[in-house]
């Protein structure tokens, strides 16, 4: 039964026109990013339905096309041939049916989910959400032959309610294929602890509940959003976005999946990224067999200064998930990003004494660069700090500080004096280094992603400091250090 006379197709058209109309208002926006994915206008949160289907990468996302605040959830859509250059598509899903729409109610919509290829068809599996209804969350599907226009399935919702002992929070289905069957995990909770119910199906519509693949330990959050369970090399990994976890926001567990019993047994757990702005990570396997991860480069517990510019929210750079020799997760920026490099600059053999600051001249085009900083630690002390000040004001009062603390063995991103509307905080991660440390930085107009050259220690933050702050300075505190090289490439603007 439809609740208004408008069909899904009409609502999709209306939403797509809305995005286009609003886009004009934000053309002059200060903080629009150069190479991180954003919607043309309006609000975005979680990446959804990541997939490479018939050779083309698809990125769907939680989207309010009607404004820069969270609101009725649509699925925005973009496609790419290389994960870097994205082409915006019409809105893919709009709230339109009784299980995802309710006239006048703003807390509704097509919530997060995933995509699979079923033969020639592209299937989207998502949560229909209507706040105030019981049950408020159900699972639904939509399909498309051309990869642009989606029809909601006539048998929706294919799961009408959560199993009895689970809470009413029951969302974000992630579907994958194992042997002859489809498997699906859903985010939920049992008695105030995160839980991941598992389902199986032969046809994507008729699903059997198999029990919980995993439930949370104490202190791992009271609800698990956006689960993602996937094979990686000889292991499986489970990503969840826990709500109200005191010491974590988005965790990854590596372990064993027993498909006969439907149970996942974690052997290790860690935070995927220790920055302030990282949530709802989702992965997919591409046609080269790479496991690629993209996350929402924001968080619910923060302000969105770009709302006044008519947009809010962006995605991280795509990162390849790999396991090291100890079966620990590492994330590598996809090599396609190197195609954006131009205007190479290099400072070599810079020696800093203790408590020294050295300017690195950078022909800064647009706060849009990749930087590799190669520290030689053989003659440093076993205490003190070595690092880089970025986006520093001329008088030095405002700066973004990235450093390695030799005593505590922590990589730190300090945004407390970054200035502007930057969320102030100290973000850190343990990092054991020996004779050298190479830091890799991806800076864009309002974001910074920091990692080591071999894919550890990720810290992602949104930076809303004054765009006139252009100082870049190496510094030491309490120790000397030799810097072999500071290499910088300007990264081209590829996203409107
Ligand atoms: C995670 C989340 C999901 C939900 C979506 C709604 O950020 O809360 O659980 O499906 O956002 O937009």
Q: Are residues 59 and 117 in the same domain?
A: yes
Which of 62, 174, 242 has most ligand 1 atoms within 8 Å of its beta carbon, as the pocket-test mutant? 62
Q: Based on the domain organization, do 310 and 407 belong to the same domain? A: no
**Distance between CA atoms of residues 109 and 93, nearest Å:** 9
Q: For 138, how many CA atoms within 13 A lie in the half-sphere containing its CB?
A: 20
- Across the beta sheet with 385-392, the strand order is 357-359, 471-477, 385-392, 400-405, 410-414, 426-430
CA of 22 to the centre of ligand 1 (A): 24
Same domain for 455 and 406: yes
Q: What is the number of structural domains in the chain? A: 2
Q: For residues 286-304, give the mean pLDDT.
A: 97
Element of type H or E holding 16: helix 8-25
Q: Are residues 315 and 434 in the same domain?
A: no
pLDDT at 472 > cutoff 70: yes
pTM, rounded to two decimals: 0.97
Q: Is the pLDDT of residue 90 over 70?
A: yes
pLDDT averaged over the chain?
A: 95
Q: Residues with beta carbon inside 6 Å of ligand 1?
A: 45-46, 62, 73, 111-112, 127, 171-172, 225-226, 279-280
Q: Same structural domain for residues 126 and 245?
A: yes
46 catalytic, yes or no? yes
Question: 291 and 392: one domain?
Answer: no
Write the CA distances from 214 to 191, 211, 267, integer angstroms. Answer: 14, 9, 12
Per the domain annotation, does 3 fall within a domain? no
Least Cα distance to 471 among 372, 417, 398, 409 occurs for 398
Q: How far is the CA of 358 from the centre of ligand 1 (A)?
A: 44
CA torsion through residues 326, 327, 333, 338, sign: positive
Tell me, yes or no, whether 235 lies in a domain. yes
Q: Which of 333, 356, 381 is the last residue of a domain?
A: 333
Check residue 27 and give its pLDDT: 64
Which residue, 289, 313, 333, sits at the end of a domain?
333
Q: Are residues 127 and 271 in the same domain?
A: yes
Question: CATH no. for residue 417?
Answer: 2.60.120.560
Distance CA(23)–CA(372), nearest Å, equals 35
Show the tokens assigned to 110. Answer: 């097509």
Ligand 1 site-directed mutation target among 224, 225, 241, 281, most atoms within 8 Å of CB: 225
CB contact at 8 A, 431 and 412: no
Which domain, by its residues, includes 422? 342-491
CA distance 142 to 113: 11
198, 255, 285, 303, 318 from 233: Cα distances, Å: 21, 11, 12, 38, 19
Q: Any idea what DSSP says for residue 244?
A: S
Flag whether pLDDT at 141 surpasses 50.
Answer: yes
pLDDT, tens digit (0-9, with 9 covering 90-100), for 422-465: 999 999 999 999 999 999 999 999 999 999 999 999 999 999 99
The pLDDT value recorded for residue 4 is 56
């Amino acid at each position: 039964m439809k609740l208004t006379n408008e069909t899904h197709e009409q609502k999709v058209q209306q939403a797509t026109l809305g995005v286009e109309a609003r886009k004009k208002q934000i053309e002059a926006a200060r903080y629009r990013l150069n190479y991180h994915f954003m919607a043309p206008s309006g609000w975005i949160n979680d990446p959804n339905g990541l997939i490479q289907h018939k050779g083309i990468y698809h990125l769907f996302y939680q989207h309010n096309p009607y404004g820069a605040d969270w609101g009725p959830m649509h699925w925005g859509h973009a496609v790419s041939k290389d994960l870097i250059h994205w082409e915006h598509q019409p809105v893919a899903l709009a709230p339109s049916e009784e299980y995802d729409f309710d006239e006048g109610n703003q807390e509704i919509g097509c919530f997060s989910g995933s995509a699979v290829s079923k033969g020639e068809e592209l299937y989207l599996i998502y949560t229909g959400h209507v706040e105030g209804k019981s049950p408020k969350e159900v699972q639904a599907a939509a399909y498309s032959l051309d990869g642009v226009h989606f029809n909601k399935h006539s048998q929706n919702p294919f799961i009408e309610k959560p199993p009895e002992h689970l809470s009413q929070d029951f969302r974000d289905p992630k579907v994958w294929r194992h042997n002859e069957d489809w498997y699906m995990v859903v985010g939920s909770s049992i008695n105030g602890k995160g839980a991941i119910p598992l389902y199986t199906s032969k046809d994507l519509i008729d699903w059997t509940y198999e029990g919980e693949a995993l439930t949370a330990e104490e202190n791992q959050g009271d609800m698990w959003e956006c689960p993602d369970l996937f094979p990686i090399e000889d292991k499986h990994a489970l990503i969840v976005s826990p709500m109200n976890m005191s010491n974590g926001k988005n965790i990854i567990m590596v372990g064993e999946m027993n498909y006969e019993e439907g149970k996942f047994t974690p052997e290790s757990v860690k935070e995927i990224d220790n920055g302030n702005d990282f949530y709802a990570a989702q992965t997919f396997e591409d046609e080269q067999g790479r496991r690629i991860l993209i996350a929402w480069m924001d968080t619910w517990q923060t302000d969105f200064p770009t709302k006044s510019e008519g947009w809010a929210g962006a995605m991280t750079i795509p990162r390849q998930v790999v396991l090291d020799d100890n079966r620990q997760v590492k994330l590598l920026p996809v090599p396609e990003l190197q195609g954006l490099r131009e205007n190479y600059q290099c400072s070599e053999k810079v020696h800093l004494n203790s408590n020294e600051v050295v300017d690195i001249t950078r022909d800064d085009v647009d706060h849009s660069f990749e930087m590799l900083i190669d520290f030689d630690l053989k003659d440093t002390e076993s205490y003190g700090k070595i690092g880089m000040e970025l986006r520093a004001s001329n008088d030095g009062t405002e700066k973004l500080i990235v450093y390695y603390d030799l005593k505590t063995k922590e990589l730190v991103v300090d945004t407390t004096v970054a200035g502007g509307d930057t969320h102030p905080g100290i973000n850190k991660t343990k990092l054991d280094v020996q004779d050298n440390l190479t830091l890799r930085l991806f800076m864009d107009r309002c974001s910074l992603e920091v990692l080591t050259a071999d894919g550890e220690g990720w810290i992602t933050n949104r930076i809303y400091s004054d765009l006139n702050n252009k100082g870049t300075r190496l510094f030491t505190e309490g120790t000397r250090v030799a810097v072999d090289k500071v290499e910088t490439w300007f990264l081209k603007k590829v996203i409107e």
